[in-house]
Structure formats: C-alpha cells, structure tokens
C-alpha cells in the first residue's frame, strides 16, 4: 500500500488527485492537503474584481468533494516538508507521511519586491487570489462613483500578462457602459518588450492584434517598463517616469511557497521546483511538481526581467503526467512514462471580443527557435469558448473528473494541441540543454 499526497487544490492539484484516485486501487490512499476551504477557478477572478460575476460561481467546497471522491482531506496549512523522512507537518503539528508527493501549491505573490505594491500593504489591487478580487471589486464600485486615472499592468519578473490585458479591456467596456469612459485616462504598463509578447515571443499576429485593440480603445501603452515603487495614487518607473492613478491593478512577480524555500536542495532561489521531463524532482525521486510552482527557464533575456507563462492548461497537463507516472512507478499502469508537451492555450476575454493566444509548445525548439504552432486569433467566439470552458471545468471539479479523453481529443481537433507524449530514452537522463536544469536546485540551508 502506498500513500500519495498532493499539496494544493488548484488547477493542477485537483486534476492530479482525481487522476490518482481513479487509476489507483483502493489499497492505495490519496491525501489532499490545502489550507483553503474552497477550490477557486482563478482565471475567472477578473470578472469578480469588476463586479461582473459573484465569487461563489467560481468556487466549490473541498471537504465534501474529497469525501465523495474517497480522498483523505487535510484542510490545514503546510508548515514544513522533510523529503528525507518523507513527511509533511501541518499547522496543527499533525505529521502526514507520504510515499509519493505531488507539489501543486501554485505560487506565492511577491508584492514585497516593489515597495507599495499589492492590496495588503500597498496601494494597488490584484486579481490573483479570491480575497484580493473581492477587495478589488469593492474599490471598483467606489471608483465608478469617483472616476479618475486608471493604471493596469505588471511588475518586473511577472510571467502572467493575459489578465492585465483582460482587466484593461473589460474595464474599458464597463466604463463605456456606465457612460464615464471620457473621465478615465487609461494606461497599461508592462515589462514585456512589446504588448502581446506574453512572456512568449514570436506569436504570429499577437503584437498587432493586441496593440490594435488597446489603441482602438484609447489605452496608452508603456512597454519595457520596470515599476520600482508605488506611492499613494502614483506609480514610479525605473527611468523616473510617474503615472498618477485613482485605481490601479498591477500583477506581481511570483515565487515558490515559503515552506518550500526552507527545504535544502528542493527549489531554486525563487522557490520554484526544478523537475525532470517526467515532472519528477531530480534529487528527490518521490517528489513530483506541477503547475506554477515548477521551474521553467525563460529562454529570452529581455531589457526588463519577465517570467514565462504557465497557463491553466499547462498546469493540468503537468498534473496528469505526474499522476500517470506515479501510477506507472507503482506498477498499476503498464505504459510509458509521459511528458507534458507544454503546449499553451490562453483565452483572453475583452468584452464583446477576445483573443486566443496559442504557443505549442511554450518553449521553442532550442536549435531552430521555432514552435509547432504559434499564433493569435481574434473574435467573439473566444468569449463564448472561454465562458463554456469555465462551466465545463467547474463541472469537472464537481464530478471528480481529471482530464478525460474527449477533452484531449477536442484540443487536438480544434487547436492542434497535444498535452502529453511518451518519454524518450534520451530524456531519461537529464540533458544540459533541457529547460529543467538540475543546477537550478539551490543548496541553501
């Protein structure tokens, strides 16, 4: 009998526990640890922040879900991890042992890297956590009553830019609907070398489509910009430029969870977990990681540092691969080990229209610098597809479904995306050219 533990109940953690529970015989236990009582569909928080959707429409209680799916449920915060003795300590000092561990914690928000950033100790808003979105919505209601300059953007080191574009263009749509757009100068500030870069260069039509939409809606663009500090009602850039605001939503850089950064040899300096192509840790073979918490090297060197996006679809594919490979390792499945392709698909809703950004895979071939597919498409259909996908994903969470065959087939038929492939013999040994570098593992104590 093996006990498999998954830390985190988000876009990677939930598919991982569902896939594990469905594939493993009952003699093996699956434990879910999360300090949040509800699953939240994070991509929908932009609409919550703008008052377009109630938060409860994007949430499901985790305890009854775990009970229905025969998961062991630990609703507490992890305070320490001991990979040598294979055990986890939670806030109540309960010790949770494991034979295999999947870390799917997502990331912590590095607001502290920019003085004055963030809703908790700063002057800007966020759409990265449920409570942040609720607070942003309350402030948005006040802003509509007393409009002024609106600034949207991302801090240096951020790797998730789609939500900034979505917030800017949805906010524009709402301001026009309220008849006050002419009272709100709007500015988008980004560390990207150009808008539509998204941390992934070379997407056909991405720059032109995104720039055209922003300019059409009279949203000023400030790219290659490093926000160095935020004062009350003012954003300061590294080159000395300042931008006044009555309301600001700025996406932060990410880092790994605090308890991960204290484990010698587990993470890099930012707290992200390096993994082999199979999602296994190079130093601790019982540990797998999936989603935003994994380290994926940004292949470009930009004027202002930026990360690489890890979309919800990428998080799912990593989680499914990790679950599959644990089942193979246990002898439950007779199959090849799987590798997530890191094909990325992002639907960005902009009011009556939207843009689908496709990078397959997100990391270009290191020799040719090319991808199998790399493009952006605009149309009202993007809005419909995103809305349907949200409903579908929430239904999967309620029904206890990981990633079924028909979802994989649909992604292949409509977008030419494959989420997994077989691990090759060459990949069984970590290559120096791999984006997953064992040298990235910190030796700090």
Does residue 424 register a pLDDT over 90?
Answer: no
Looking at every residue in the chain, the average pLDDT score rounds to 92
Neighbours of 152 (CB within 10 A): 27
**Which residue matches tokens 């998954």?**
6
Annotated catalytic residues are 160, 346
Phi then psi dihedrals of residue 112, to 5 deg: -65, -15
Contacts of 386 (CB under 8 A, 6+ apart): 347, 348, 349, 354
Handedness of CA 16, 17, 18, 22 (dihedral sign): positive
Whether 439 has a pLDDT exceeding 80, the answer reads: no
Q: Is the pLDDT of residue 418 over 90?
A: no
Nearest in space to 78 (alpha carbons), one of 157, 25, 5 = 5
- Quick: pLDDT tens for 380-405: 999 999 999 999 999 999 999 988 88
Q: What is the mean pLDDT of residues 98-122?
A: 96
CA-nearest of 313, 282, 274, 272 to 403 is 313
Core vs surface per residue 377-403: b (16+ CB within 10 A) or e: bbeeebbebbeebbeebbebbeebbbb
Residues 6+ apart with CB under 8 A from 334: 328
Taking residues 242-266, report their average pLDDT. 97
What is the mean pLDDT of the segment spanning 105-119?
A: 96
Quick check: 346 pLDDT over 80? yes
pLDDT for residue 437 is more than 70: no
Cα dihedral 163, 168, 173, 178, rounded to 10, equals: 120
User: What's the pLDDT score for residue 432?
Assistant: 32
Cβ atoms of 31 and 128 within 8 Å: the answer is: no
**What's the pLDDT at 255?**
95
What's residue 429's pLDDT?
61
Average pLDDT estimate for 278-302: 93
Q: What is the dihedral of CA 324, 326, 328, 333, to 10 degrees?
A: -60
């Amino acid at each position: 009998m093996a006990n498999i533990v998954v830390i985190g109940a988000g876009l990677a953690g939930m598919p991982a526990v569902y896939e594990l529970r469905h594939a493993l015989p009952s003699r093996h236990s699956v434990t879910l640890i999360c300090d949040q009582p509800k699953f939240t569909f994070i991509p929908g928080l932009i609409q919550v922040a703008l008052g377009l959707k109630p938060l409860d429409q994007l949430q499901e209680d985790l305890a009854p879900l775990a009970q229905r799916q025969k998961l062991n449920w630990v609703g507490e915060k992890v305070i320490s991890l001991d990979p040598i003795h294979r055990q986890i300590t939670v806030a109540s000092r309960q010790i949770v042992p494991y034979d295999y561990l999947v870390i799917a914690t997502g990331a912590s928000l590095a607001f502290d890297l920019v003085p004055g950033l963030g809703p908790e100790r700063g002057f800007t808003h966020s759409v990265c956590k449920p409570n942040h979105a609720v607070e942003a919505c309350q402030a948005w209601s006040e802003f509509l009553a007393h409009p002024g300059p609106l600034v949207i953007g991302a801090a240096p080191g951020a790797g998730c830019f789609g939500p900034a574009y979505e917030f800017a263009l949805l906010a524009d749509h709402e301001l026009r609907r309220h008849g006050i757009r002419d009272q709100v100068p709007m500015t988008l500030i980004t560390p990207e070398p150009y808008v539509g870069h998204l941390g992934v260069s070379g997407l056909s039509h991405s720059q032109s489509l995104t720039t055209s939409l922003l300019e059409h809606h009279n949203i000023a663009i400030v790219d290659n910009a490093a926000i160095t500090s935020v004062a009350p009602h003012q954003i300061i850039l590294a080159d000395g430029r300042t931008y006044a605001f009555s309301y600001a939503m700025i996406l932060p850089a990410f880092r790994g969870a605090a308890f991960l950064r204290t484990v010698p040899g587990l993470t890099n300096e930012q707290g992200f977990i390096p993994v082999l192509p199979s999602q296994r840790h190079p130093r601790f073979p019982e540990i797998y990681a999936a989603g935003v918490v994994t380290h994926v090297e940004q292949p470009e060197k930009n004027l202002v540092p930026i990360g690489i996006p890890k979309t919800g679809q990428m998080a799912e594919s990593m989680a499914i691969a990790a679950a599959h490979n644990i089942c193979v390792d246990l002898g439950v499945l007779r199959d090849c080990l799987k590798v997530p392709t890191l094909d990325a698909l992002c639907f960005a809703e902009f009011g009556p229209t939207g843009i689908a950004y496709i990078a397959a895979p997100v990391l270009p071939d290191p020799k040719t610098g090319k991808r199998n597919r790399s493009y952006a498409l605009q149309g009202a259909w993007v809005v419909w597809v995103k809305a349907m996908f949200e409903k579908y994903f929430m239904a999967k969470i309620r029904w206890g479904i990981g990633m079924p065959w028909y979802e994989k087939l649909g992604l292949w038929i409509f977008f030419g995306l494959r989420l997994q492939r077989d691990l090759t013999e060459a990949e069984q040994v970590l290559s120096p050219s791999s984006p997953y570098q064992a040298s990235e593992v910190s030796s700090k104590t």
